[in-house]
Structure 1
C-alpha cells in the first residue's frame, strides 16, 4: 500500500508541477543536455518541431541574439528549457522567459499564435572555444494533464572565432627609419654647412 501511494504521489506531482510545461515557476533540467526531456512527464500528443534560429559563429565575448521556435503539436500552450555545455557561456532571458541557475525557462503559461510559439534569448560567447545550445520545447493542449502533450528537442553549435588581433609595432616608425632619421640628417647637414662657413670666415 505504501508503494502504491508513493507511486501515485510521484505521478500526481509530475502532472501538477509540469503540466503543459507551462507552470508559473518554469522548469530546468529538461533541455536534453543530460538526457531528460519534457516527455518524461508529457506523452500521447503529436511531437512539435523545435528549432533554434541565430548565428552559428560569434566573436569572443560577443552577444548573439537567438529565437527558440516551437511549431505544431497540440499548439495551445507551451514552454521551454534551454541550456549550454560551456560554463563560460552566459544565457540571457528575453520576453516570456527567465533565468534559473545557468539555464533558461518560461516564466508563465504561453499561448501559441498561428500554430507556433517563440522565445527570444541571448547568448554571451566565452573568450574562446565553442558552445552547444540544448533546447526543449513542449506543445500542450492545456488540459492540465500529461495526456495529449508532447515535447521535442534540438541543438545548435556555436563556434567562437574572429575578433581583433593585437597589432604589431610598426618598425618603419622606429628611430632607425627613414622618417625617424630625417631630423638627424637635417641637423647633420646644417652642422656641416656651419663648419664650412666658419672656415671661410677664418
Structure 2
C-alpha cells in the first residue's frame, strides 16, 4: 500500500510542523491521510515505527538532493543544499547535527529488531545514520564524483579531505550563517586556499 504509506508520512510530517511530536496522535495522522488507524499500525507498527520511517524518508530525500547538487555544481552546491535542507527541515538538522529538540521524534540511531513479520518495503529496521555516519556517507559520495578511475591513494585522500571540509563548513553555517557570498563562496575560497602550496 505505497500510496497509503506516503500519505501517512506526509500527514505525520505536516503534524510535526504544527505541534511537538509527543502531542501528535496516531488517530489524527490516520484521519488526515484518509486511512484507518489500523492501516497506520499495519504500516508502521507503532508511533516509534512511524517516527523512524519519517526520519528515514527525510534523510533519503536529503541524500537524493545531495547527489543532485553534486552533479549540478560540485561541492559548493552540496554545501548550499546542506545548509538549506538543515534550515528548512528540522529532522534533517537533527540528523546532521545530533541535536534533537523535544519537539521532534528521536528514534534510536541503531537497528531495532523486528518482532513482527512485516513486508520488507514497510520495515524501518535498518539503522538510522548517526550524524558522523551521515557526514561520512555524503563525503564518500562526493569524493566518488571527484575521482577518476585509477586514482592513486594520495588523490583519494585529498578528495575525501576536501569533501569533508566542505560538509563541515556547511554544518558550521547551519549554526552561524555565512557572510556575503554564502556558504558556496566560502567553500570555493577555502578549497582554493587549501590547494595552494
Tell me which interval the TM-score lies in, with the shorter structure as reference length. under 0.3
Work out which structure has the larger RCO, using CA pairs closer than 8 Å and 6 or more positions apart in sequence.
Answer: 1
- Bigger proportion of residues as helix: 2
Query: TM-score normalised to the size of structure 1?
Result: 0.23
Query: TM-score normalised to the size of structure 2?
Result: 0.24
- Structure whose CA Rg is larger: 1
- Bigger proportion of residues as strand: 1
